Amino acid sequence: MLSVKVDMFQTVGFTVLLIWIGNYLRGRFGTLKKYCIPASVVGGLLFAVIALILHNTGIIQFSFDKGVINKFFYCIFFAAAGAAVGLKLLKKGGKLIVIFTILVAILEILQNFLAIGVGRLFNIDPLIALMTGSTPMTGGHGNAAAFAPVAEAMGATGAMEVALAAATFGLVAGCIVGGPLGKRLVEKYDLKGKFSSEEIEEMEKESKLKTLVDPKRSMLAVSLMFLAIGIGSVFFNLFKAAVPGVKLPIHVMCMVGGLLVRNFYEKIYGESPDVFQSVDIIGEISLAMFITMSIMTMKLWQLAGLAIPMVVMLICQVILAYLFVTQLTFRFLGKNYDAAVMAVGHNGFGLGATPVAMATMKTVCDEFGYSKLAFFIVPLLGGLICNLTNAVIITSFLNFYR
Protein backbone atom coordinates (compact mmCIF):
# COMPACT_ATOMS: atom_id res chain seq x y z
CA MET A 1 0.00 0.00 0.00
CA LEU A 2 1.29 3.44 -0.94
CA SER A 3 1.67 5.75 2.06
CA VAL A 4 1.12 9.43 1.28
CA LYS A 5 2.33 11.92 3.86
CA VAL A 6 0.68 15.34 3.71
CA ASP A 7 2.58 18.10 5.51
CA MET A 8 0.98 20.84 7.62
CA PHE A 9 0.72 23.48 4.89
CA GLN A 10 -0.62 20.98 2.36
CA THR A 11 -3.15 19.87 4.96
CA VAL A 12 -4.37 23.46 5.35
CA GLY A 13 -4.70 23.90 1.59
CA PHE A 14 -6.52 20.59 1.17
CA THR A 15 -8.88 21.50 4.02
CA VAL A 16 -9.89 24.69 2.20
CA LEU A 17 -10.60 22.71 -0.98
CA LEU A 18 -12.88 20.34 0.94
CA ILE A 19 -14.79 23.28 2.46
CA TRP A 20 -15.36 24.66 -1.02
CA ILE A 21 -16.48 21.24 -2.25
CA GLY A 22 -18.83 20.97 0.74
CA ASN A 23 -20.35 24.37 -0.05
CA TYR A 24 -20.75 23.41 -3.69
CA LEU A 25 -22.49 20.14 -2.82
CA ARG A 26 -24.82 21.90 -0.34
CA GLY A 27 -25.84 24.26 -3.13
CA ARG A 28 -26.17 21.44 -5.64
CA PHE A 29 -28.14 19.05 -3.44
CA GLY A 30 -30.93 20.82 -1.57
CA THR A 31 -31.39 17.95 0.87
CA LEU A 32 -28.05 18.73 2.53
CA LYS A 33 -29.06 22.33 3.13
CA LYS A 34 -32.62 21.40 4.05
CA TYR A 35 -31.43 19.15 6.87
CA CYS A 36 -28.73 21.58 8.04
CA ILE A 37 -25.71 19.39 7.24
CA PRO A 38 -22.65 21.71 7.52
CA ALA A 39 -20.38 22.22 4.51
CA SER A 40 -17.39 21.25 6.66
CA VAL A 41 -19.07 17.93 7.46
CA VAL A 42 -20.06 17.30 3.84
CA GLY A 43 -16.57 17.92 2.47
CA GLY A 44 -14.72 16.27 5.34
CA LEU A 45 -16.92 13.17 5.41
CA LEU A 46 -16.75 12.80 1.63
CA PHE A 47 -12.97 12.58 1.76
CA ALA A 48 -13.06 10.30 4.82
CA VAL A 49 -15.20 7.84 2.83
CA ILE A 50 -12.84 8.06 -0.16
CA ALA A 51 -9.87 7.46 2.17
CA LEU A 52 -11.71 4.44 3.60
CA ILE A 53 -12.17 2.95 0.13
CA LEU A 54 -8.55 3.57 -0.84
CA HIS A 55 -7.33 2.05 2.43
CA ASN A 56 -9.52 -1.06 2.24
CA THR A 57 -8.54 -1.72 -1.37
CA GLY A 58 -4.88 -1.48 -0.42
CA ILE A 59 -4.15 1.43 -2.76
CA ILE A 60 -3.28 4.45 -0.59
CA GLN A 61 -3.18 5.40 3.06
CA PHE A 62 -2.98 9.10 3.90
CA SER A 63 -1.09 10.56 6.83
CA PHE A 64 -1.87 14.21 7.64
CA ASP A 65 0.30 16.49 9.75
CA LYS A 66 -2.61 18.24 11.47
CA GLY A 67 -1.80 18.18 15.18
CA VAL A 68 -0.42 21.71 15.68
CA ILE A 69 -2.46 23.59 13.09
CA ASN A 70 -5.73 21.90 14.04
CA LYS A 71 -5.19 22.80 17.70
CA PHE A 72 -4.44 26.38 16.63
CA PHE A 73 -7.74 26.77 14.76
CA TYR A 74 -9.53 24.92 17.55
CA CYS A 75 -8.23 27.32 20.21
CA ILE A 76 -8.84 30.43 18.08
CA PHE A 77 -12.46 29.40 17.59
CA PHE A 78 -13.07 28.88 21.29
CA ALA A 79 -11.33 32.16 22.10
CA ALA A 80 -13.74 33.82 19.66
CA ALA A 81 -16.65 32.01 21.32
CA GLY A 82 -15.52 33.36 24.68
CA ALA A 83 -15.16 36.84 23.20
CA ALA A 84 -18.81 36.73 22.14
CA VAL A 85 -19.84 36.74 25.79
CA GLY A 86 -20.50 39.97 27.62
CA LEU A 87 -21.31 40.35 31.31
CA LYS A 88 -25.06 40.44 30.63
CA LEU A 89 -24.91 37.06 28.90
CA LEU A 90 -22.86 35.60 31.75
CA LYS A 91 -25.53 36.56 34.25
CA LYS A 92 -28.31 35.24 32.03
CA GLY A 93 -26.62 31.86 31.61
CA GLY A 94 -26.05 31.14 35.33
CA LYS A 95 -29.22 29.17 36.05
CA LEU A 96 -29.13 27.35 32.72
CA ILE A 97 -25.54 26.22 33.31
CA VAL A 98 -26.58 24.51 36.55
CA ILE A 99 -29.56 22.80 34.89
CA PHE A 100 -27.50 21.80 31.87
CA THR A 101 -24.74 20.38 34.08
CA ILE A 102 -27.24 18.09 35.81
CA LEU A 103 -28.66 16.97 32.46
CA VAL A 104 -25.17 16.25 31.11
CA ALA A 105 -24.34 14.08 34.13
CA ILE A 106 -27.64 12.19 33.86
CA LEU A 107 -27.04 11.40 30.17
CA GLU A 108 -23.52 10.17 30.97
CA ILE A 109 -24.89 7.82 33.64
CA LEU A 110 -27.65 6.55 31.33
CA GLN A 111 -25.12 5.94 28.54
CA ASN A 112 -23.17 3.62 30.82
CA PHE A 113 -26.23 1.79 32.10
CA LEU A 114 -27.40 1.31 28.51
CA ALA A 115 -23.98 -0.02 27.49
CA ILE A 116 -23.97 -2.53 30.36
CA GLY A 117 -27.59 -3.56 29.76
CA VAL A 118 -27.29 -4.15 26.01
CA GLY A 119 -23.89 -5.76 26.53
CA ARG A 120 -25.42 -8.34 28.83
CA LEU A 121 -27.84 -9.39 26.08
CA PHE A 122 -24.80 -10.37 24.00
CA ASN A 123 -22.74 -11.73 26.94
CA ILE A 124 -20.12 -9.00 26.57
CA ASP A 125 -17.68 -8.24 29.37
CA PRO A 126 -19.06 -5.17 31.24
CA LEU A 127 -15.66 -3.47 31.02
CA ILE A 128 -15.72 -3.84 27.23
CA ALA A 129 -19.36 -2.77 27.10
CA LEU A 130 -18.48 0.40 29.00
CA MET A 131 -16.19 1.31 26.12
CA THR A 132 -19.38 2.06 24.14
CA GLY A 133 -20.88 4.17 26.93
CA SER A 134 -20.02 7.67 28.12
CA THR A 135 -16.28 7.03 27.68
CA PRO A 136 -16.35 7.41 23.86
CA MET A 137 -19.78 9.02 23.52
CA THR A 138 -19.71 12.11 25.73
CA GLY A 139 -15.98 11.67 26.26
CA GLY A 140 -14.92 11.39 22.61
CA HIS A 141 -11.54 10.17 21.41
CA GLY A 142 -9.75 11.92 24.27
CA ASN A 143 -11.50 10.00 27.02
CA ALA A 144 -11.44 6.85 24.89
CA ALA A 145 -7.65 7.04 24.72
CA ALA A 146 -7.39 7.96 28.41
CA PHE A 147 -9.70 5.38 29.99
CA ALA A 148 -9.38 2.40 27.63
CA PRO A 149 -5.89 1.55 28.99
CA VAL A 150 -7.39 1.57 32.49
CA ALA A 151 -10.01 -0.95 31.38
CA GLU A 152 -7.33 -3.08 29.70
CA ALA A 153 -5.27 -3.05 32.89
CA MET A 154 -8.36 -4.44 34.62
CA GLY A 155 -8.43 -7.32 32.13
CA ALA A 156 -10.57 -5.97 29.28
CA THR A 157 -8.50 -7.02 26.27
CA GLY A 158 -9.31 -4.99 23.16
CA ALA A 159 -10.84 -2.09 25.10
CA MET A 160 -8.76 0.49 23.22
CA GLU A 161 -9.89 -0.66 19.76
CA VAL A 162 -13.54 -0.77 20.83
CA ALA A 163 -13.39 2.66 22.50
CA LEU A 164 -11.69 4.41 19.56
CA ALA A 165 -14.02 2.81 17.02
CA ALA A 166 -17.03 3.75 19.14
CA ALA A 167 -15.79 7.36 19.38
CA THR A 168 -15.45 7.48 15.59
CA PHE A 169 -18.96 6.07 15.18
CA GLY A 170 -20.30 8.72 17.58
CA LEU A 171 -18.50 11.50 15.71
CA VAL A 172 -20.05 10.47 12.39
CA ALA A 173 -23.50 9.99 13.95
CA GLY A 174 -23.33 13.38 15.66
CA CYS A 175 -22.51 15.06 12.34
CA ILE A 176 -25.46 13.43 10.59
CA VAL A 177 -28.11 13.69 13.32
CA GLY A 178 -27.48 17.21 14.69
CA GLY A 179 -28.80 19.36 11.85
CA PRO A 180 -32.05 17.45 11.22
CA LEU A 181 -32.64 17.31 14.99
CA GLY A 182 -32.44 21.09 15.28
CA LYS A 183 -34.61 21.63 12.22
CA ARG A 184 -37.28 19.33 13.63
CA LEU A 185 -37.40 21.12 16.99
CA VAL A 186 -37.50 24.58 15.43
CA GLU A 187 -40.26 23.72 12.99
CA LYS A 188 -42.31 21.51 15.31
CA TYR A 189 -42.51 24.18 18.02
CA ASP A 190 -42.53 27.13 15.59
CA LEU A 191 -39.42 28.68 17.14
CA LYS A 192 -37.52 31.62 15.76
CA GLY A 193 -34.16 33.21 16.38
CA LYS A 194 -33.75 36.92 16.70
CA PHE A 195 -33.83 37.39 12.92
CA SER A 196 -35.08 35.43 9.92
CA SER A 197 -32.56 33.60 7.76
CA GLU A 198 -32.98 36.20 4.99
CA GLU A 199 -32.35 39.07 7.41
CA ILE A 200 -29.29 37.30 8.84
CA GLU A 201 -27.87 36.73 5.35
CA GLU A 202 -28.33 40.38 4.43
CA MET A 203 -26.86 41.65 7.72
CA GLU A 204 -23.90 39.29 7.42
CA LYS A 205 -23.15 40.60 3.92
CA GLU A 206 -23.23 44.17 5.12
CA SER A 207 -21.35 43.61 8.37
CA LYS A 208 -18.66 41.44 6.83
CA LEU A 209 -18.06 43.95 4.06
CA LYS A 210 -17.96 46.83 6.54
CA THR A 211 -15.69 44.92 8.89
CA LEU A 212 -13.22 43.45 6.45
CA VAL A 213 -12.57 46.65 4.53
CA ASP A 214 -11.19 48.29 7.69
CA PRO A 215 -7.58 47.05 8.04
CA LYS A 216 -7.10 48.52 11.52
CA ARG A 217 -10.21 46.87 12.89
CA SER A 218 -9.36 43.51 11.30
CA MET A 219 -5.80 43.69 12.65
CA LEU A 220 -7.13 44.54 16.11
CA ALA A 221 -9.54 41.57 16.03
CA VAL A 222 -6.77 39.15 15.03
CA SER A 223 -4.46 40.58 17.70
CA LEU A 224 -7.13 40.20 20.39
CA MET A 225 -7.60 36.54 19.49
CA PHE A 226 -3.86 35.88 19.58
CA LEU A 227 -3.75 37.58 22.97
CA ALA A 228 -6.70 35.47 24.14
CA ILE A 229 -5.08 32.14 23.27
CA GLY A 230 -1.84 33.33 24.90
CA ILE A 231 -3.74 34.08 28.10
CA GLY A 232 -5.53 30.74 27.76
CA SER A 233 -2.23 28.89 27.50
CA VAL A 234 -0.92 30.57 30.65
CA PHE A 235 -4.08 29.62 32.56
CA PHE A 236 -3.86 26.09 31.16
CA ASN A 237 -0.31 25.60 32.46
CA LEU A 238 -1.14 27.15 35.83
CA PHE A 239 -4.14 24.84 36.20
CA LYS A 240 -2.10 21.79 35.17
CA ALA A 241 0.52 22.63 37.80
CA ALA A 242 -2.05 23.38 40.52
CA VAL A 243 -4.30 20.35 39.87
CA PRO A 244 -2.05 17.67 38.32
CA GLY A 245 -4.64 14.89 38.58
CA VAL A 246 -7.27 16.63 36.44
CA LYS A 247 -6.97 16.83 32.65
CA LEU A 248 -8.49 20.05 31.32
CA PRO A 249 -8.60 20.75 27.55
CA ILE A 250 -6.62 23.84 26.57
CA HIS A 251 -9.46 25.20 24.46
CA VAL A 252 -11.53 25.74 27.60
CA MET A 253 -8.91 28.12 28.96
CA CYS A 254 -8.69 29.83 25.56
CA MET A 255 -12.43 30.45 25.79
CA VAL A 256 -11.85 32.00 29.23
CA GLY A 257 -9.07 34.09 27.67
CA GLY A 258 -11.47 35.33 24.99
CA LEU A 259 -14.09 36.16 27.60
CA LEU A 260 -11.58 38.18 29.64
CA VAL A 261 -10.22 39.99 26.60
CA ARG A 262 -13.73 40.99 25.49
CA ASN A 263 -14.83 42.30 28.85
CA PHE A 264 -11.57 44.10 29.70
CA TYR A 265 -11.45 45.69 26.26
CA GLU A 266 -15.00 47.00 26.56
CA LYS A 267 -14.32 48.11 30.12
CA ILE A 268 -11.57 50.38 28.77
CA TYR A 269 -12.92 51.42 25.35
CA GLY A 270 -16.66 50.86 25.72
CA GLU A 271 -18.86 48.58 23.62
CA SER A 272 -17.25 47.79 20.26
CA PRO A 273 -19.66 45.71 18.16
CA ASP A 274 -17.72 46.27 14.91
CA VAL A 275 -14.50 44.90 16.40
CA PHE A 276 -16.24 41.79 17.66
CA GLN A 277 -18.00 41.32 14.34
CA SER A 278 -14.49 40.83 12.98
CA VAL A 279 -13.77 38.41 15.82
CA ASP A 280 -16.91 36.43 14.89
CA ILE A 281 -15.66 36.11 11.32
CA ILE A 282 -12.30 34.85 12.54
CA GLY A 283 -14.15 32.33 14.70
CA GLU A 284 -16.28 31.12 11.77
CA ILE A 285 -13.21 30.58 9.60
CA SER A 286 -11.43 28.70 12.37
CA LEU A 287 -14.53 26.55 13.05
CA ALA A 288 -14.80 25.49 9.41
CA MET A 289 -11.09 24.69 9.26
CA PHE A 290 -10.79 22.53 12.35
CA ILE A 291 -14.09 20.71 11.81
CA THR A 292 -13.17 19.79 8.24
CA MET A 293 -9.64 18.81 9.28
CA SER A 294 -10.92 16.62 12.12
CA ILE A 295 -13.47 14.79 9.98
CA MET A 296 -11.36 14.31 6.84
CA THR A 297 -8.65 12.57 8.92
CA MET A 298 -11.03 10.12 10.62
CA LYS A 299 -10.04 6.49 10.20
CA LEU A 300 -13.42 5.06 9.28
CA TRP A 301 -11.94 1.60 8.73
CA GLN A 302 -11.80 1.25 12.51
CA LEU A 303 -15.58 0.86 12.39
CA ALA A 304 -15.21 -2.19 10.16
CA GLY A 305 -13.72 -4.07 13.09
CA LEU A 306 -16.86 -3.68 15.18
CA ALA A 307 -18.87 -6.84 15.59
CA ILE A 308 -22.65 -6.74 15.13
CA PRO A 309 -23.31 -6.57 18.92
CA MET A 310 -21.14 -3.46 19.15
CA VAL A 311 -22.96 -1.82 16.25
CA VAL A 312 -26.28 -2.55 17.96
CA MET A 313 -24.96 -1.04 21.19
CA LEU A 314 -23.80 2.10 19.43
CA ILE A 315 -27.05 2.56 17.52
CA CYS A 316 -28.84 2.32 20.87
CA GLN A 317 -26.56 5.10 22.16
CA VAL A 318 -27.50 7.35 19.23
CA ILE A 319 -31.20 6.73 19.90
CA LEU A 320 -30.72 7.43 23.62
CA ALA A 321 -28.93 10.74 22.93
CA TYR A 322 -31.60 11.83 20.44
CA LEU A 323 -34.49 11.06 22.78
CA PHE A 324 -32.72 12.59 25.78
CA VAL A 325 -31.90 15.94 24.17
CA THR A 326 -35.30 16.32 22.48
CA GLN A 327 -37.42 15.23 25.43
CA LEU A 328 -35.34 16.45 28.40
CA THR A 329 -32.58 18.89 27.43
CA PHE A 330 -34.85 20.95 25.19
CA ARG A 331 -37.69 21.05 27.72
CA PHE A 332 -35.67 21.71 30.87
CA LEU A 333 -33.65 24.48 29.24
CA GLY A 334 -36.77 26.45 28.44
CA LYS A 335 -38.42 24.93 25.35
CA ASN A 336 -37.49 28.03 23.34
CA TYR A 337 -35.16 28.75 20.45
CA ASP A 338 -32.02 28.95 22.62
CA ALA A 339 -33.02 25.60 24.17
CA ALA A 340 -33.41 24.02 20.71
CA VAL A 341 -29.91 25.13 19.67
CA MET A 342 -28.45 23.92 22.99
CA ALA A 343 -30.20 20.57 22.48
CA VAL A 344 -28.42 20.30 19.12
CA GLY A 345 -25.15 21.05 20.91
CA HIS A 346 -25.83 18.49 23.64
CA ASN A 347 -26.44 15.87 20.96
CA GLY A 348 -23.13 16.85 19.32
CA PHE A 349 -20.88 16.53 22.34
CA GLY A 350 -23.06 13.77 23.81
CA LEU A 351 -22.05 11.65 20.83
CA GLY A 352 -18.38 12.40 21.06
CA ALA A 353 -17.14 15.87 20.15
CA THR A 354 -17.62 19.53 21.04
CA PRO A 355 -16.50 20.57 17.50
CA VAL A 356 -19.41 18.59 16.04
CA ALA A 357 -21.74 20.35 18.49
CA MET A 358 -20.47 23.75 17.37
CA ALA A 359 -20.64 22.93 13.64
CA THR A 360 -24.19 21.57 13.76
CA MET A 361 -25.33 24.45 16.00
CA LYS A 362 -23.87 26.99 13.57
CA THR A 363 -25.64 25.38 10.61
CA VAL A 364 -28.98 25.47 12.42
CA CYS A 365 -28.36 29.10 13.43
CA ASP A 366 -27.45 30.06 9.87
CA GLU A 367 -30.85 28.77 8.83
CA PHE A 368 -33.07 29.99 11.66
CA GLY A 369 -31.23 32.69 13.65
CA TYR A 370 -28.27 33.13 15.98
CA SER A 371 -28.17 32.12 19.66
CA LYS A 372 -25.41 33.81 21.65
CA LEU A 373 -26.50 32.00 24.80
CA ALA A 374 -26.10 28.58 23.18
CA PHE A 375 -22.68 29.43 21.76
CA PHE A 376 -21.52 30.40 25.22
CA ILE A 377 -23.04 27.60 27.31
CA VAL A 378 -22.45 24.60 25.01
CA PRO A 379 -18.65 25.02 24.67
CA LEU A 380 -18.42 25.53 28.43
CA LEU A 381 -20.43 22.36 29.12
CA GLY A 382 -18.97 20.30 26.27
CA GLY A 383 -15.38 21.38 26.81
CA LEU A 384 -15.09 21.63 30.58
CA ILE A 385 -17.95 20.49 32.78
CA CYS A 386 -18.86 17.28 30.94
CA ASN A 387 -15.20 16.19 31.08
CA LEU A 388 -15.12 16.66 34.85
CA THR A 389 -18.43 14.89 35.54
CA ASN A 390 -17.65 12.16 33.02
CA ALA A 391 -14.26 11.40 34.58
CA VAL A 392 -15.91 10.78 37.95
CA ILE A 393 -18.73 8.71 36.43
CA ILE A 394 -16.46 6.56 34.23
CA THR A 395 -14.08 5.87 37.11
CA SER A 396 -16.99 4.85 39.33
CA PHE A 397 -18.38 2.40 36.77
CA LEU A 398 -14.96 0.89 35.97
CA ASN A 399 -14.20 0.35 39.65
CA PHE A 400 -17.61 -1.24 40.23
CA TYR A 401 -17.19 -3.78 37.40
CA ARG A 402 -13.45 -4.44 37.75
Prediction pTM value: 0.69
Q: Is residue 217 part of a domain?
A: no
Distance CA 79, CA 382 (A): 15
Closest CA to 69 of 376, 379, 290, 295: 290
Which residues contact residue 377 at a Cβ distance below 8 angstroms, ignoring those fewer than 6 apart?
Answer: 93, 96, 97, 100, 342, 345
Q: Is residue 188 part of a domain?
A: yes
Q: Is residue 291 part of a domain?
A: yes
Per residue of the chain (402 residues), what is the pLDDT tens digit? 788 999 999 999 999 999 999 999 988 888 787 666 778 878 988 998 899 899 989 999 999 998 889 889 888 987 887 787 666 666 666 788 889 989 999 999 999 999 999 999 999 999 999 999 998 899 876 677 667 888 888 888 878 778 878 887 887 888 889 889 999 999 999 887 655 555 555 555 555 555 555 778 888 999 999 999 999 999 989 988 887 766 666 777 888 898 899 889 988 888 777 888 888 888 888 878 887 887 788 777 766 656 788 889 999 999 999 999 999 999 999 999 999 999 999 999 999 777 788 888 988 988 888 888 888 788 777 766 776 688 788 888 988 888
Q: Is residue 313 part of a domain?
A: yes
Q: Is residue 216 part of a domain?
A: no
Query: What CATH number does residue 139 fall under?
Result: 1.20.1530
Do residues 330 and 343 touch, judged by C-beta distance below 8 A?
Answer: yes
The full DSSP string for 15-54 is HHHHHHHHHHHHHH-HHHHHTT--HHHHHHHHHHHHHHHH
Phi, psi (rounded to 5 degrees) for 61: -125, 125
Domain that holds residue 195: 2-211+222-401
Angle between helices 273-296 and 8-28 (to 10 degrees): 100
Q: What is the tally of structural domains in the chain?
A: 1
| Distances 214 to 40, 221, 283 between C-alpha atoms, Å | 28, 11, 18
Alpha helix (H) ranges present in 190-336? 197-212, 215-242, 250-269, 273-296, 301-304, 308-324, 330-332
